Amino acid sequence: MKILGIESSADETAAAVVEDGRFMLSSTVASSLDLHKVYGGIVPEIAARSHIEIIIPVIKLALADAGCGWDDIDAIAVTNRPGLIGSLLIGVLTARTLAITKRKPLYGINHVLAHAYANFITATRLPGYTLSESPPRVPALGLIVSGGHTQVMLYRSHADYELLGQTRDDAVGEAFDKVAKILGLPYPGGPSIDKAAQKGNPTSVKLPNPKLDNRYDFSFSGLKTAVLRAAQQLAGKDFTLPSTELPALLTESQKADLAASFQRAAIDILADAMTAAEKQYRPESVLLAGGVAANNSLRETLSRRLQAPLLYPDIKLCTDNAAMIASAAYYWQQTADNPYELSVIPSL
Ligand code: KG4
Ligand code: ZN
């Protein structure tokens, strides 16, 4: 079964063809990230306009790379929740139109839950991908960490999953992005912090590890504020100093120490929750997914602290892509949606 996946929930416009949920025939991703950099975050209107301009070429390229015509495609899967409303609309309206005109079943897919399915892509002829040899075993725990989400999932089977916990405030990727801004490091903040942290001492700045009543829930906004206070103190100033003036007052080594200490604290918070979840649910595998899954230190810490095998996708499949959408649609086997009615759900 060949499924065409379409993804447009944030700043990436993506299309992919995946056969039987595992074999990735193509994966095309166009990003408007460069257009947002100057603003320090995604500008929804710019993202939506970029999707409109590029979505048809991206889909055509995904079909051509896969060597597929429309007759070869069995179904269309599209992210319809959650995400930026204008961005979601472009993908969903395109998918609905194609489903009607090409007479294909249509599946609306939850982007966050689908992230874990990047781990089910186990074969491709495309160059430059390192993939696991076999699909993960369920029951599995999922840690979905991105700019918009921080969720701990239990997948008892493909059709039976449960949200064990999530962030109560900032997503972990958002915290990386905001701390990078405090330190004057370029957007997106995750890779910038990751890089700066390599030259810093992770124990140099003491930061909080909040404990909530649900041990699978998270809070990152206090951690981000603690970094701000520590940075103001290192700069010899108090809390009245505007954060925009901080980067100029900090040395490179102070920035590296703050980055390393923040990264260590954020990873410890995630790892504490996952080790507790593993003890309680005894999964066959643990699936890491989302943009923050690209972080090497997170991967190393989880691999060290967990007993079950930790799986994480190739870096190109950690961030937003459409192969994970097509794979999730295959495994979930949902009832097809009405192409005249499928709506977008910006927040869940
Ligand atoms: O999954 P994704 O591409 O988009 C969302 O759905 O949010 O994730 C993007 C997020 C950003 O917050 C970015 O800073 C973070 O993933 N990120 C990282 C790394 N690479 C990307 N965070 C930590 N370390 C990294 N190496
Ligand atoms: Zn995502």
Q: Is 13 touching ligand 1 by the criterion CB < 6 Å?
A: no
Q: For residue 43, name the pLDDT band (cuts at 50, 70, 90).
A: confident
* Atom 1 of ligand 1, residue of closest alpha carbon: 291
Q: Do domains 2-131+316-332 and 140-312 have the same CATH topology?
A: yes
Please give the single-letter amino acid code of residue 7.
E
The fold for domain 140-312 equals Nucleotidyltransferase; domain 5 (3.30.420)
CATH of domain 2-131+316-332: 3.30.420.40
Q: Is 142 touching ligand 1 by the criterion CB < 6 Å?
A: no
How far apart CA 90 and CA 99 sit, in angstroms, is 14
Domain layout of the chain by residue ranges: 2-131+316-332, 140-312
Strand-pairing partners, residue 88, are: none
Q: Which ligand approaches the C-alpha of residue 145 most closely?
A: 1
Peptide bond just before 188 cis, omega within 30 deg? yes
Q: Which of 185, 188, 221, 204 is nearest to 258 (CA)?
A: 204
Query: Residues with Cβ < 8 Å from 258, sequence gap 6 or more?
Result: 179, 183, 200, 205, 227, 230, 231, 234, 250
pLDDT value of position 130? 95
Mean pLDDT of the chain: 94
Q: For residues 24-31, give the mean pLDDT.
A: 94
Q: Is 194 touching ligand 1 by the criterion CB < 6 Å?
A: yes
pLDDT value of position 39? 77
Q: For residues 12-22, give the mean pLDDT.
A: 97
pLDDT value of position 45? 86
Q: How distant is the alpha carbon of residue 329 from its chain centre?
A: 17
User: If you measure from the C-alpha of residue 8 to the centroid of ligand 2, how many angstroms do you get, rounded to a whole number?
Assistant: 10
Q: For residue 328, name the pLDDT band (cuts at 50, 70, 90).
A: very high
Tens of pLDDT, residue by residue over 55-95, are 999 999 999 999 999 999 999 999 999 999 999 999 999 99
pLDDT value of position 65? 97
Tens of pLDDT, residue by residue over 98-145, are 999 999 999 999 999 999 999 999 999 999 999 998 889 999 999 999
Query: Residues with Cβ < 8 Å from 213, sequence gap 6 or more?
Result: none
